[in-house]
Amino acid sequence: MLQSQLFTKTRKEAPKDEVAKNAELLIRAGYIHKEMAGVYSYLPLGLRVLNKIALIIRREMNAIGGQEIFMTTLQNKELWEKTGRWSDEKIDNWFKTKLKNGTEVGIALTHEEMLTAIMAEEIKSYKDLPRSAYQIQTKFRNEARAKSGIMRCREFMMKDLYSFSRDEKEHEAFYEGSKEAYKKVFEGVGIGKVTYLTMASGGIFSKYSHEFQTLTSAGEDLIYICDKCKEAVNKEVIADFKNACPKCGNTKLREEKAVEVGNIFPLGTRFSDALGLQFLDEKGEKKSVVMGSYGIGLGRLMGVIVEVFADEKGIVWPKEVSPFQAHLVSLAGEDTKVKKSADELYKKLTEKGIEVLYDDRGLRPGEKFADSDLIGIPLRIVVSAKTLEADGYEIKDRATGATELVKEDVLLKIFK
């Protein structure tokens, strides 16, 4: 994409009321637009990142048998009454609204009730199980605090998967598999090394659930890491384990600030009992389906990635989620030979299917480099009179700052 055509511009300042580093940098670099506190629009660069994150999540959810669906935002109050969750005392951060005829409806904040009701029409026998389905869809929550940029929003994209199993044993197997799938997601987006499987509190059917917590000083949560097991326990339940690792008993736990990027939750038969999701087992006996729910916040994940890797110059994307694979920066000025060389390289790279943001704007080198650092694409390719003379290109690693002069064949190999 030609940067001269990109409708967003970089800016020196973020909105005055923006306190989160992730949103500040993403706004300044033109990834997102702040509508109001906790409500952000995704602009071309931002949507590219979000879509890459979605692709990685889809890959792993499909790999464990998840079938993608897309449920509605307007929700039927009756379903929520059946599970006893409609009242504001049960859930205090709902947005609700009314139809013209006065009927109350809920605005999606989660989808257990809806999918359980859908499955009740489909699952009849043990032969229909196990199943799982997921969506990537907008959730609305009337959060009290929204000071963490895109990490805590009032409107945000969530991947929510729900599993349906014959019994606890079958559920366990899926649940364990989901842990591995989640690990692959977080490794896939580049934060595997700083993300910990964390024991958290459960609901009425299971004492515990699990969160995936990513270490960052911007975190709202506190977790206690066992460096032997490479797992953690969150603040809510650490006392249950007498401040020791539940796996190995290690009492030297490391307290860290972290952000919950995902969670997995055993639901037992809480929803299937309430909404009539039963099946006939091999003996012809009626049983309730055992369920689980599995969430990941896409925008939160994007914000966390910014928080974890950004430096004083701007964003630093891991290559897996970067909006483009390379940032081609031309320092042609009035030099038509340099311009031609940069144009040709852009054409060659894009023809090979490599995603390139081409800074073809007539700005001073200093401004171009500052913008490039702010936008944070991992690989920069500079074309200038100097590189043309050397019959090569200068490449720069955004994360380390290391530069190198390379010939074209070496450059092309980087993308293999």
Q: Which is nearer to ligand ATP, 30 or 295 (CB)?
A: 295
**One-letter amino acid of 339:** K
Residue (of 342, 389, 403, 348) closest to 4 by Cα position:
342
Instruction: Please report, as ranges, the residues that interact with ligand ATP according to CB under 6 A.
Output: 110, 141, 143, 152-153, 156, 158, 260-263, 295-297, 299-300
Q: Which is nearer to ligand ATP, 155 or 373 (CB)?
A: 155
Residues in contact with Mg ion, shown as a per-residue x/- string from 195 to 224 under the rule CB under 5 A:
------------------------------
The DSSP symbol for 210 reads E
Q: Which is nearer to ligand ATP, 262 or 378 (CB)?
A: 262
Residue 155: CB minimum distance to ligand ATP, A: 8
Residue 229: CB minimum distance to ligand ATP, A: 21
Q: Choose the one of Mg ion, ligand ATP, none that binds residue 143, judging by a C-beta under 5 to 8 angstroms depending on kind.
A: ligand ATP
**One-letter amino acid of 100:** K
CB atoms within 10 A of CB 44: 13
CB atoms within 10 A of CB 103: 11
Q: Choose the one of Mg ion, ligand ATP, none that binds residue 338, judging by a C-beta under 5 to 8 angstroms depending on kind.
A: none
Q: Choose the one of ligand ATP, Mg ion, none that binds residue 114, judging by a C-beta under 5 to 8 angstroms depending on kind.
A: none
Q: Which is nearer to Mg ion, 92 or 391 (CB)?
A: 92
Residue 201: CB minimum distance to Mg ion, A: 9
Residues in contact with Mg ion, shown as a per-residue x/- string from 232 to 271 under the rule CB under 5 A:
----------------------------x-----------
Q: How far apart are CA 166 and CA 128, in angstroms?
A: 9
Helix (H) or strand (E) holding 202: none
Residue 302: CB minimum distance to ligand ATP, A: 10
Residue (of 317, 334, 345) closest to 385 by Cα position:
334
Residue 212: CB minimum distance to Mg ion, A: 11
Q: Which is nearer to ligand ATP, 321 or 356 (CB)?
A: 321
Residue 307: CB minimum distance to ligand ATP, A: 13
Which residue is it, tokens 């890459």? 52
**Residue showing the smallest CB distance to Mg ion in the complex:** 260
Residue 284, classified by CB atoms within 10 Å of its CB into exposed (0-12), middle (13-18) or buried (19+), is exposed
3-state secondary structure of 372: helix
Q: Choose the one of Mg ion, ligand ATP, none that binds residue 256, judging by a C-beta under 5 to 8 angstroms depending on kind.
A: none
The DSSP symbol for 87 reads S
Q: How far apart are CA 152 and CA 139, in angstroms?
A: 12
CB 18 within 8 A of CB 149: yes
CB 309 within 8 A of CB 193: no
CB 234 within 8 A of CB 184: no
Residue 260: CB minimum distance to Mg ion, A: 5
Q: Which is nearer to ligand ATP, 300 or 380 (CB)?
A: 300
Bridge partner residues of 133 (DSSP): 67, 162
Q: Which is nearer to ligand ATP, 151 or 289 (CB)?
A: 151
- In the complex, the residues that contact Mg ion under the rule CB under 5 A are 260
